Copies of this chain bind each other. A is one copy, B any other.
Amino acid sequence: MTQPRSMMKIGINMVQNGGHSSGWRHLDADPDIANDFEGYARIIKMAEDAKIHFVFLADGAAVRIPHSNAEELSYHGHIDRFEPLTLLAALAAITSKIGLICTASTTYNEPYTLARKYASLDHISHGRAGWNLVTGWSEDESLNFNRDTLMEHAQRYARANEFVDVVTGLWDSFDDDAFIANKASGQYFRPEGMHVLNHQGEFYKVRGPLNLRRSPQGHPVIAQAGSSVPGRDLGARVADIIYTGQKDLQLAQEFFADMKARVAAAGRDPSQVLVMPGLMPIIGATEAEAQARMAELKSLVHPEVGMQLISKTFGDLSHLDPEDPVPLPLPESNGVKSARDQWERRLREKPMTVRQVYEEISLSSGHCVVCGTVETIADHMQRWFESGACDGWNLMAPYFPSGAEDFITKLIPELKRRGIFHREYEGETLRANLGLNPVPDLKNKSNDGRSKSDDRISMSN
């Protein structure tokens, strides 16, 4: 089941109306797709036919555009989106192979609820579920959850570390073979196969067990998308996939090497943690056509939207003209620290105007945009993959559906032709398809082979 490292992994990143915040304005865009389940379903089925490893859904529990009133907000195409786990569950019923990964924040959820939901999705999809663990970055979310401010960065990560341990602990509530449903004896499960968590930590108190048998993957795949030091360390300790925004080959190689070293330092096998940056391909029949497409996409950005987006990372710049240079230093960020630091580094080397920055952010929210023919884009992907910058990609479309159809029908076949993308799903579960080892249950995890039942704690209360 192990796959040669020569094969890159690919996910399709579905974001409401597309990765480009103004992509919905494109002539070819279906501007209602954010709200169209059947539209999503068609794209996912195409992606599955092309053997894309997983669909990936970002999330935010708010209209996350600060410093805005309704007039300004109204130009923004990233307003309406389905709650992603609800959407993935529906997509699970009409697909059979493609992985289903979505985002949920440790800052605004309860671990018991989250553990149940992903385990349920893993059951319903027969082993295709994944959780993109985030701690959030926007003030706007906190205002929807009884808070006045975004929780502080260090505390968000402290909670996230405890949260994920509770979740994985709950996923191990029962051994894989605990449920026997013996009609004659009346025994529904073997009591020694149940493990009550009894977690009492700094932030959470959760007794368990989960009211659900262990799911096909045992632990649904965990992705992690924070790139600050605490984010990297959390990822190194618990994640199967590191999702990241990387635009520069050398920085990406540094990030890749750093992540793999942290994984090794955490006592895990570096090949078992996949670093997968986002990438938005802008495909043309010729380089010139691709460049024209990119320019067209940039021209769609309404200045109001640009100013809103830039303020996420750069603070309020509404007093500036779009043609003014971005002033340095950037304000300290309690949100996405890694994005702030990358911009600071870039702008120190080469100043940019407010408009140049917001056009870039608007296009792909911090991810690499590669513009060219199928060949030159595949070259780029292959170069990064083969030079230790990534294990694969999370592909983004500027708008739907044709932005995604483009890379599914043109780019993916080229990668297959080059022998750097698989032609068939390797296994039955997302873990197997990603070349990740199974996660044994508690009984099989114990080194001495001794059943853990002796540690079982009575539930009497």
Q: A93 interface residue, CB < 8 Å from B?
A: yes
Known: A25-B183, A109-B113. A80 touches B212 (CB 8 A): yes
Residue contact A22 to B186, C-beta cutoff 8 Å: yes
Chain B residues with CB under 8 A of A117: 83, 85-86
Segment at the B interface, from A48-56, A59-67, A258-266, A371-379: A59-67
Measured CA separation A460–B186 after assembly (Å): 61
In the assembled complex, the CB of A192 is this many whole angstroms from the nearest CB of chain B, namely 8
Residues from chain B with a CB closer than 8 A to the CB of A67 are 460-461
A458 touches B213 (CB 8 A): no
The answer to whether A458 and B83 have CB atoms under 8 Å apart is no
CB contact between A90 and one of B92, B190, B459, B461 (< 8 Å): that residue? B92
Q: In residues 375-418 of chain A, which contact B (Cβ within 8 Å)?
A: none
Q: A70-B458, A183-B25 are in contact. Are A87 and B89 (CB under 8 A)?
A: yes
Contact with B along A73-92 (1 / 0, CB 8 A): 11111011111011101111
A residues 435-461 touching B (CB-CB < 8 Å): 456, 458-461
C-alpha spacing A35/B179, complex, angstroms: 11
Are A113 and B70 closer than 8 Å at their CB atoms?
no
Interface of A is mostly: loop
- What residues on B are CB-neighbors of A25 within 8 Å? 183, 186
Taking CB atoms, residues of chain B closer than 8 Å to A37 are 93, 123-124
Chain B residues with CB under 8 Å of A112's CB are: 61-62, 108, 144-145
**B-side contacts of A190, CB under 8 Å:** 74
Q: Answer whether A73 and B212 are a contact pair too, CB < 8 Å, given A85-B86, A123-B35, A461-B143.
A: no
Q: Which residues 99-128 of A sit at the B interface, judged by CB distance below 8 A?
A: 108-110, 112-113, 116-117, 119-121, 123-124
- Measured in the bound complex, the distance between the Cα atoms of B456 and A68 in whole Å is 13
In chain A, positions 306-320 with a C-beta closer than 8 Å to chain B are: none
Kindly identify which residue among B86, B188, B213 contacts A86, using a CB–CB cutoff of 8 Å: B86
Cβ-defined contact, B211 with A81, below 8 A: yes
Q: Known A61-B116, A74-B194; judge A79-B189 contact (CB<8 A).
A: yes
| Copies of this chain, whole number | 2
A120 and B83 form a contact (CB under 8 A): yes
The answer to whether A211 and B62 touch across the interface, beta carbons within 8 angstroms, is yes
Residues of B within 8 A of A24 (CB): 181, 183, 188
Contact with B along A135-169 (1 / 0, CB 8 A): 00001100111111000000000000000000000
Closest to A458 in B: B69
Provide the bound-state CA to CA distance between A342 and B67, in Å. Answer: 55
Q: Quote the shortest CB–CB distance from A65 to chain B (angstroms).
A: 8
Range class of the A interface residue count: 35 or more
Residue numbers in B under 8 Å from A79 (CB-CB): 188-189, 211, 213
Q: A367 to nearest B CB, angstroms?
A: 21
- For the complex, what is the distance from the CA of A358 to the CA of B420, rounded to whole Å? 63
- Chain B residue numbers with a CB within 8 Å of A120 are 82-83, 86-87
Contact A81 B212 (CB under 8 A): yes
* A302 contacts B by Cβ under 8 Å: yes
Q: Which of A202-210, A221-229, A272-280, A324-332 contacts B (4 or more CB under 8 A)?
A: A202-210
* A32 at interface, CB cutoff 8 A: yes
- Check A90–B143 contact: CB distance below 8 A: no
Q: Is A351 an interface residue (CB 8 A)?
A: no
CB of A187 closer than 8 Å to a CB of B: yes
Q: What chain B residues lie within 8 Å of A189 (beta carbons)?
A: 74, 79
A191 at interface, CB cutoff 8 A: yes
Judge if A19 is at the interface, Cβ distance under 8 Å: no
Q: Does A231 contact B (CB under 8 A)?
A: no
Residues of B within 8 A of A1 (CB): none
Q: A31-B181, A85-B86, A87-B89 are in contact. List 5 more A-B contacts (CB 8 A).
A: A27-B183, A74-B191, A86-B117, A90-B93, A91-B93
